Structure 1
Amino acid sequence: MSRRSLTARLLTTATAGLAALALAACGGADAGTDTGTDAADATSTSGSGEGSASSSDAGTVTITDNHGEVEVEVNPERVVALDNHVFETLHAWDVPLVAAPKTIMGDVWPAYTDDAAVLDVGSHREPNLEAIIEAQPDLIIGGYRFSESYADIKAQNPQAVVIELAPREGEDPEAEMTRQVEILGQIFDREDDAAAIVADYEDSIATAAEAYNGTDTVIGLITSGGEIAYSAPVTGRSIGVLFPTLGLTPAIEQAAEDVSHGDDISVEAIAAANPDWLVVLDRDGSGVGEGEYTSAQQLISGSEALAGVTAVAQNQIVYLDPDFYLTEDIQAYTALYDQIGEAFGAAR
Structure 2
Amino acid sequence: MQHTRTPALLAALVAGSMAMTGLVSAQEIVVTHAQGETTLPGKPEKVLVQDWAAFDNLTALGIEVAGVPGSNAPGYLADAVSADTATIGSLQEPDFEAIAASEADLYIVAARSRTAYETAKDLVPTIDMSIDNGAIIEGIKTNLTKYGQIFGVEDKANELIASLDAKVAEVSAAAEGKGNALAIVTNAGKLGVYGPDSRVSWIYNEIGMPSALESVADGDHGGDSVTFEFLLETNPDWVFVVDRDAGVGNEGAAAALLDNELFNQTTAAKEGHVVYVDPQAAYITMHGYQGVMLLLDQVLEGLNK
Aligned AA (1:235): D
CA distance in 2, matches of 1:96, 1:43: 29
CA drift of 1:77 comes to 1.9
The structure with more radius of gyration: 1
CA distance in 1, matches of 2:91, 2:136: 25
- Partner SS for 1:104: coil
Considering Cα pairs closer than 8 Å and 6+ residues apart, tell me whether 1 or 2 has the greater RCO. 2
8 Å CA contact retained: 2:29, 2:41: yes
> Superposed, which structure 2 residues align to 1:1-348 within 5 Å?
41=20, 44=23, 59-110=27-78, 115-116=83-84, 118-124=86-92, 126-155=93-122, 157=123, 160-168=124-132, 172-214=135-177, 216-231=179-194, 233-236=195-198, 238-289=199-250, 293-300=251-258, 302-324=259-281, 325-328=283-286, 329-346=288-305
CA drift of 1:86 comes to 1.4
Match of 1:55 in 2: none
CA distance in 1, matches of 2:301, 2:59: 27
Distance 1:98 1:336, change over 3 A: closer
CA distance in 2, matches of 1:334, 1:65: 24
> Unaligned regions of 5+ residues in structure 2, if any?
1-8
CA distance in 2, matches of 1:331, 1:310: 31
> Unaligned regions of 5+ residues in structure 1, if any?
1-29, 48-58
CA drift of 1:112 comes to 6.7
CA drift of 1:285 comes to 2.1
Aligned AA (1:228): L
CA drift of 1:181 comes to 1.0
CA distance in 2, matches of 1:174, 1:287: 23
- Partner SS for 2:157: helix
CA distance in 1, matches of 2:280, 2:118: 29
CA drift of 1:180 comes to 0.7
CA distance in 2, matches of 1:127, 1:261: 24
Q: For residues 287-339 of structure 1, what are the alpha-carbon distances to aligned partners after superposition, in whole Å with 9 as ceiling and x for unaligned?
A: 433xxx24322222x21111111111111122111321222212222232233
CA RMSD between the two structures: 2.8
CA drift of 1:110 comes to 4.0
- Partner SS for 1:246: coil
- Partner SS for 2:279: coil
Distance 1:111 1:343, change over 3 A: closer
Could you tell me the TM-score, scaled by structure 2's length? 0.84
CA drift of 1:217 comes to 1.5
